[in-house]
Chains A and B, each alone.
Chain A
Amino acid sequence: EIVLTQSPGTLSLSPGERATLSCRASQSVSSSYLAWYQQKPGQAPRLLIYGASSRATGIPDRFSGSGSGTDFTLTISRLEPEDFAVYYCQQYGSSSWTFGQGTKVEIK
């Protein structure tokens, strides 16, 4: 099973700043099978990025994904108040999915 490790655990930033979130896989992951989700308290997760770098429908262009192999990154170019949330990476392989443990982006 591929393990996804996200870092940092918590990111304390101010609105307008840039956020860089990391997701590292224990084995190589096809870029087609790497996704990012956002979850706010009391809400279901929302798909942000699929295929490592493609934005889902309705996702603002301040969100971008990059990476390949074992290292992937989610970047939020300028944080808006509604972006403070927990972010999860996810990979698919061998007919199963695994998630990273999450990165919390909090207001500094």
Chain B
Amino acid sequence: EVQLVESGGGLVKPGGSLRLSCAASGFTFSSYSMNWVRQAPGKGLEWVSSISSSSSYIYYADSVKGRFTISRDNAKNSLYLQMNSLRAEDTAVYYCARDNEQWPVFDYWGQGTLVTVSS
């Protein structure tokens, strides 16, 4: 069974940093591209970042470019999101999501971790 479990969320002050993790199991993690998607409270979904299976290709939404860094450790079956210079508008539930092998869609999602940026 595919499982994605996020952790690392919490309360942080504006300008602060946080590192999210996503532990994957139930599939060959090293074969799949992975993504972070966020959802502000009561709002819709926003794609944040994507990383290819071997970390060769990395993409970011304009809203986080230069502040967030996606990475992965295939030996540990883990995905990460380093978030720096956090702003109030970064407050959201952050989901990790697996990229389907054949189609550019997200076929499995974690349960999410809440990041709150507030003074």
Judge if B45 is at the interface, Cβ distance under 8 Å: yes
Known A95-B50, A96-B59; judge A47-B44 contact (CB<8 A). no
CA distance A32 to B47 in the complex (A): 18
A99 touches B45 (CB 8 A): yes
Tell me whether B85 is interfacial, beta carbon within 8 Å: no
Say whether B95 contacts A96, CB under 8 Å. no
Assembled-state Cα–Cα distance A56/B104 (Å): 13
CB distance from B86 to the nearest CB of A (A): 21
Interface of B with A (CB < 8 Å)? 35, 37, 44-47, 50, 57, 59, 61, 95, 100, 103-107, 109-112
State whether A50 and B105 are in contact (beta carbons under 8 Å apart), knowing that A95-B50, A95-B59, A96-B59 are contacts in the complex: yes
Q: Which residues of A contact B110 (CB under 8 A)?
A: 44
Asked, given contacts A44-B111, A44-B112, whether A97 binds B44 with beta carbons under 8 Å apart, the answer is no
Chain B residues positioned under 8 Å from A96 (CB to CB): 47, 50, 59, 61
Q: Taking the complex as formed, is A51 at the interface, i.e. its CB lies under 8 A from any CB of chain B?
A: yes
A102–B44 alpha-carbon span in the complex (Å)? 7
**Which of B47, B57, B105 neighbours the largest number of chain A CB atoms within 10 Å of its CB?**
B105
Beyond the given A96-B61, A97-B47, please list 7 additional residue pairs across the A-B interface where CB-CB is below 8 A. Answer: A37-B106, A47-B107, A56-B107, A88-B44, A95-B57, A96-B50, A102-B44
Q: What count of chain A residues pass the 8 Å CB interface test?
A: 24
Nearest-neighbor residue (CB-CB) of B58 within chain A: A95
CA A37 to CA B97, docked complex, whole Å: 13
26 contacts between A and B (CB under 8 A): A32-B103, A32-B104, A35-B105, A37-B45, A37-B106, A44-B95, A44-B109, A45-B37, A45-B45, A45-B106, A47-B106, A50-B100, A50-B103, A50-B105, A51-B103, A88-B45, A95-B50, A95-B57, A97-B35, A97-B47, A97-B50, A97-B104, A99-B44, A100-B44, A101-B44, A102-B44
The interface bits of chain A over 32-55 (1 if a CB of B lies within 8 angstroms of the residue's CB, else 0) are 110101010001111100110000
Decide yes or no whether A63 CB sits under 8 A from chain B: no
Q: Smallest distance from the beta carbon of A49 to chain B beta carbons, Å?
A: 9
Q: Is the CB of A33 within 8 A of B47?
A: no
